[in-house]
Amino acid sequence: MTTTTSTATTAAGRHRALALTCSVVGAAVVALDGTVLTIAQPALQRDLHADLGQVQWTSTGYLVAVASLLVFAGRLGDRYGHRRVFALGCLGFAGASAGIAAAPGIGWVIALRVAQGAAGALLQPATLGMLRGAYPPDRLGMPVALRTSAIALAAAAGPLVGGALVGAYGWRAVFLLGVAPTTALALLCLAVPEARRSTPVPAGAVPAGAATVGGSRSTAGPARAGDLLSGPAPHARPSTGPGPGLRAGLPPALTALDLPGACLLGLALAGLVHGLVTGAPFAFVVAAGATGLLVRHERRAPCPLLPPGMMRPGPVTAGLGALLAVSAALSGTLFVATYLLQDTLGLDPLDTGLRMLPLALVMVAAAPLSALVQRRLGARATAVAGAVLTAAGVLLLGQPSVTASGPATGGCAALIGAGFGAVMVTATSVVVHRAPREHAGVAGGLQQTAMNTGPVLGVALATLLLASGTALPALAAVAALAVPAALGLPGARPHTPRRADTPPAP
């Protein structure tokens, strides 16, 4: 008995280490790729004789692909295992990156960036889904914080690494950065055996009580596919008749994935992102129409892509709202600060980067500290404080007397980094923790959708208001919107001693 317990403990520890490694490194590689591209774009444009619109599509194509596929990719992870989907995403990301490095023309670069975005959409929700499956809910804060610190570190290092590579080897070198680590992560995931299902699952059913460990799935008992709507149903019996998918003429596996819902959500998000980036009115019409059809479809679908319980007002939607607000404020502020410091004050890019460097450095330190504060004070207080710090930093940065001083600018950047780190860690852990375990991938996809859509919204708002001089106050107001959202997060729970043999409460 002791040997069996020890073996199980060792296996659980191995799966946790693998999940944490894949989550941290995978998220960092994606963040690094986004920052180095900005540095490489001017050289890419010159070398491939591309116009500005074509170069813009190297970013827009990636954003549209990522935004439209994140939630569906999370659903794939929930059904087939987060580790498998993560490995597939890593291989796709590595292949697309290597292809871009060898691309003969701008058309190939754009097409491969879209493919790279699709691969990134596969691996990003899986980084959170693996953590949700490997760690108990009350221990998710620190793994999420380490993942956040890695993203901040990659964002800080990206311009420096990208500049060095472009200067020494050309723009193609920056796309080779992610090939080796993503390939290694994929091989590692495929090499380590996954836990096996303990109970056979009926064809077409996704177990509502499925427990995911390191990307694999084990079940405490059979469940109907329809149980996905309401969460775990311990007394449910397996259905012996044809499921809703068969009655509708679709295979059960396709019904459980909700392909029509995935297509409508992808079209809505793709239209929104494309409209915000390019300003095309037709894109907003497409987004609005697809959203209306999506709402109608999800209400009638037997296994909706967006579980109703997850999308009702509560901690999950509050966390998503807070993430959307602070990510929009952060990206919009960085966009405005770049023009403010360089065009108005005449600083060169290096001096601009150095003045804003405290944002990333403080965020690296604030992420794990926020996880500790959250355990003591609760998610609500931690996120509210973070939102206030973010809004204050953005508002102060808009004062001419502040931007004229290097230390004052760095201090505002530090405030923004501390606040954003606190909200990101706290809200992300709540979203992943509060979502049912069998929907961890969808929760991760929604979190990543908020984090990818927010920056597009922020930059669009900043672009609109930049000439009027009101961009930073408006972005501070956007950051302040995270405060009411954060008030919907759970507060501190009273500490009660727990016996050593009692599992943590979900």
Contact 405, 308 (CB under 8 A): no
Q: Interhelix angle for 82-101 vs 440-465, to 10°?
A: 40
Cα–Cα nearest to 457, from 334, 287, 332: 332
> CB atoms < 10 A from the CB of 134, how many?
28
Dig out the tokens for 98 from the structure: 């290597």
Dig out the tokens for 493 from the structure: 């729970």
Ordered per-residue pLDDT tens for the chain, 506 residues: 555 555 656 666 777 888 888 888 888 888 888 777 777 777 888 888 888 778 778 877 888 888 888 888 888 888 888 888 899 999 999 999 999 999 988 999 999 999 998 998 888 888 888 888 778 777 777 888 888 888 888 877 777 787 788 878 888 988 988 899 999 998 988 877 665 444 333 333 443 333 333 333 333 333 333 333 333 333 333 333 334 333 344 445 445 677 787 788 888 888 888 887 777 788 888 889 988 888 888 788 777 777 776 667 788 888 889 999 998 998 888 888 877 777 777 777 667 777 888 888 888 888 888 888 888 888 889 999 999 999 999 999 888 877 777 788 888 989 999 999 889 888 888 888 777 777 777 888 888 888 878 888 888 888 888 777 788 899 999 999 999 998 888 877 665 555 544 544 44
State the Rg of the chain over Cα.
Answer: 23
Q: Quick check: helix, strand or coil at residue 138?
A: helix
Cα 457–chain centre separation:
16
> 352-366: buried (b, 16+ CB within 10 Å) or exposed (e) per residue?
bbebbbbbbbbbbeb
Cα–Cα nearest to 135, from 124, 147, 123: 147
Within 81-229, where are the H helices? 82-101, 106-134, 141-169, 172-175, 179-191
Contact 126, 445 (CB under 8 A): no
Can you say whether the dihedral through the CA atoms of 358, 364, 365, 371 is positive or negative? positive
Contact 442, 71 (CB under 8 A): yes
Dig out the tokens for 257 from the structure: 């994935």
Alpha carbon distance 397, 154 (integer Å): 24
Instruction: Point out which residues pair with 447 in neighbouring strands.
Output: none
Dig out the tokens for 304 from the structure: 């909706």
The per-residue pLDDT for 337 is 82
Work out the burial of residue 102: count CB atoms within 10 Å of its CB; fewer than 13 is exposed, 13-18 middle, 19 or more buried: exposed
Alpha carbon distance 180, 14 (integer Å): 22
> CB atoms < 10 A from the CB of 407, how many?
10
pTM over 0.85: no
Contact 454, 332 (CB under 8 A): no
The per-residue pLDDT for 494 is 61
> CB atoms < 10 A from the CB of 240, how many?
6
The per-residue pLDDT for 79 is 82
The per-residue pLDDT for 216 is 39
Contact 443, 432 (CB under 8 A): yes
